[in-house]
Amino acid sequence: MLATVLSAVFHPLLVPLYLFYVVCYQLPGVVLRPVLSGRWLVLVIVAACTLGLPGLGTALLVRLGYADSVELRQRQQRTLPLLLAAVGFATASILLYRPGQLDALLAWLMAGMTLAVLLTLLITLRWKISAHGVGMGGAFGLLLLLHLSGAADLAGVWWLAGSAALAGAIGSARLALDAHSPAQVWAGLALGLGVALAIGAVNVL
C-alpha cells in the first residue's frame, strides 16, 4: 500500500511541479524574478505543460486502447506518453525563457528536465529504465547543485536531505511493486543525477 502511494504521489510528471514550488517558495534568494507575488504563474505554466498535457494525453491513449493503464507497466506502451511528456517539457522551457522578466535559472531547469525525458525516451525504446528514478535523481542533483553553489541557505540542506531520503524510498517502492529491476532503478537515478550535474558543469546554475 505504501509503495503504491509513494509511486503515485511522486509520479515523474508531478516531480517538476514540486521542484519549481521548492525553488520558487522554499529557498529564499534562489529566484529573484518574478517577484514572490507573481511566481504562481510559473507554477501554472509548469503544471499545464508537464502534468496537464502529458497526463491528459496518456489518459486518452488508455481510453483508445494503446495502453492498459496510466501506470504504463509495459515498456512498449511508454513511447508515446514519453514523447508527449518531452513535447510538454520543451514547451514549458520555451514559455519560461523570458530574459529580463524571469530568471534564466527557471528556463534552464526545465530544459534540463526536457533533456532527461528525451534520454529516458531513447533508452526506453530498448530497455525499461525507471522514470521515477530519473525524476528523483534529477531532483536530488538539482538541490545538490544549489547547495554547492551557495544559492540555497540552511533550508536547502533539509530539502537536499529530504530528496535523498525520498529517492531511496521511491526506488524501494518501485522494487516492492515489481515495476523495475534494481539495475533499472539505479540507472534511472544515475541518469537524472547525471543530467543535473551536466547542467552545473556548463555553469548554467
Q: What is the pLDDT of residues 27-57, one digit of tens each?
A: 988 899 999 999 999 999 999 999 999 999 9
> What is the CB-side half-sphere exposure of residue 43 using CA atoms within 13 A?
16
pTM given for the model? 0.94
> What's the pLDDT band for 77 if we cut at 50, 70, 90?
confident
Residue 2: alpha-carbon gap to chain centroid: 21
Within the chain, residue ranges assigned H as helices are: 2-9, 15-21, 40-47, 53-63, 79-96, 104-124, 131-149, 154-176, 182-201
Exposed/middle/buried for 59, CB within 10 Å: 0-12, 13-18, 19+? middle
User: 182: Cβ–Cβ under 8 A, 6 or more apart, which residues?
Assistant: 175
Residue 41: alpha-carbon gap to chain centroid: 18
- Mean pLDDT on 52-74: 84
Q: Residue 204: pLDDT above 60?
A: no
Q: Quick one: pLDDT at residue 205?
A: 46
> What's the pLDDT band for 203 if we cut at 50, 70, 90?
low
User: pLDDT tens digits for 121-177?
Assistant: 999 999 999 999 999 999 999 999 888 877 666 667 899 999 999 999 999 999 999
